[in-house]
């Protein structure tokens, strides 16, 4: 809470503002759900996700979250930032209750996020770094685009959500004799974390994940280890690549179909060019289909340096939605 008063200066005084605590979980989750009912995002945070936020040691909620309550103690707005201690950016999250939008509260939350981001960079004191805040939004949310643009943010990247029906012919998961696909479980959590950090070190915007950040991945409430898999080298057991999947049953009800979602797909450099990613996706499709899913889905950076977009298209995935990353140098 050191220096917490400075970010508060931008916030609307019609609401009472304070950091999130455990007793706020129900009201906080209800705020996000009300907003999602109107804005219809592909994904939104649920209570279990917010519990993880409150458990973070790297980004303590006492200094990195803010909730705004009306006179009846109903949560009407929220914001938070996350940042890796040695990272080059902070990432902002938040929402405003639809019945409270249009009153400048979103702009105030951005001001809070920016002030807190400046503090985090000063606290971390990484040589040569300068404060940067990144925000993500889905293409259909034009009100967010207007807010971000007016506040001086610029689009720095586009992403595509892609789907592949599982009713069509499913490809075979073929690997050469030196590799095999195995199930994903606790014994592979750390080896896959290390493989992920290595595989993604040349990807735009990616930063190494420490044990806490990786814990949020493998313990995500939507994570489905049974739908995930790892490609390993037979002779050494070394992780060559991995496909980590999830399933959102609530989203299935609103979107009208069940999807197996590939959260992370990566291949170590020395194993690239051997069909590992293609084999893992083919394996994923079969796992998804066996679990009763209608579609396989994933997201891809439109400028991915490994040619992932072309691979996904070749395997039958087609774009269905787009999203953007916006940055502002503070």
pLDDT of the residue at 35:
98
- CATH 3.30.40.10, applies to 5-152: no
Segment 128-167, tens digit of pLDDT: 889 999 999 999 999 999 999 999 999 999 999 999 999 9
Q: Where are the domains of the chain?
A: 5-152, 160-322
Single pTM value for the model: 0.92
5-152 and 160-322 have identical folds: yes
* Residue stretches of the chain with pLDDT short of 70: 1-6, 304-306
pLDDT of the residue at 4:
52
Q: Which is nearest to 83 in space by CA: 64, 106, 67?
A: 64
Distance CA 271, CA 252 (A): 35
pLDDT of the residue at 148:
97
pLDDT of the residue at 2:
43
pLDDT of the residue at 1:
38
| DSSP per position, 154-206 | EEEEEEEEEEEESSSPPPP----TTEEEEE--GGGHHHHHHHHHHHTTTSTT-
CATH number assigned to the domain covering 160-322: 3.40.630.30
Mean pLDDT rounded to a whole number for the chain: 94
Segment 257-279, tens digit of pLDDT: 999 999 999 999 999 999 999 99
């Amino acid at each position: 809470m050191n220096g917490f008063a400075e970010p508060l200066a931008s916030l609307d005084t019609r609401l009472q503002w304070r950091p999130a605590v455990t007793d706020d979980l129900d009201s906080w989750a209800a705020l996000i759900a009300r907003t999602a009912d109107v804005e219809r995002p592909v994904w939104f945070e649920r209570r279990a996700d917010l519990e993880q936020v409150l458990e973070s040691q790297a980004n303590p909620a006492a200094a990195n979250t803010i909730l705004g309550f009306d006179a009846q103690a109903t949560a009407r707005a929220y914001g938070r930032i996350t940042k890796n201690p040695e990272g080059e950016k902070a990432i902002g999250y938040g929402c405003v209750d639809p019945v409270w939008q249009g009153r400048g509260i979103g702009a105030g939350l951005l001001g809070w996020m920016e002030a807190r981001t400046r503090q985090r960079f000063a606290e971390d004191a990484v040589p040569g770094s300068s404060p940067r805040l990144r925000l993500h939004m889905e293409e259909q949310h034009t009100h967010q685009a207007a807010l971000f643009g007016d506040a001086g943010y610029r689009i720095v990247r586009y992403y595509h959500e892609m789907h592949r029906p599982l009713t069509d012919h499913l490809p075979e998961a073929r690997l050469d004799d030196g590799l095999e696909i195995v199930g994903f479980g606790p014994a592979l959590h750390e080896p896959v974390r290390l493989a992920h950090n290595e595989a993604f070190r040349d990807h735009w915007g990616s930063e190494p994940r420490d044990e806490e950040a990786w814990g949020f991945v493998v313990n995500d409430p939507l994570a489905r280890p049974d739908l995930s898999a790892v490609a390993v080298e037979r002779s050494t057991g070394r992780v060559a690549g991995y496909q980590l999947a999830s399933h959102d049953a609530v989203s299935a009800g609103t979107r009208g179909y069940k999807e197996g979602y590939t959260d992370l797909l990566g291949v170590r450099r020395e194993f690239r060019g051997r069909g590992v990613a293609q084999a893992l996706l083919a394996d994923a499709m079969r796992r998804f289909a066996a679990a009763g899913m209608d579609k396989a889905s994933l997201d891809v950076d439109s400028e991915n340096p490994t040619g992932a977009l072309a691979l996904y298209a070749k395997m039958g995935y087609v774009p269905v939605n787009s999203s953007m990353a916006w940055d502002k140098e503070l």
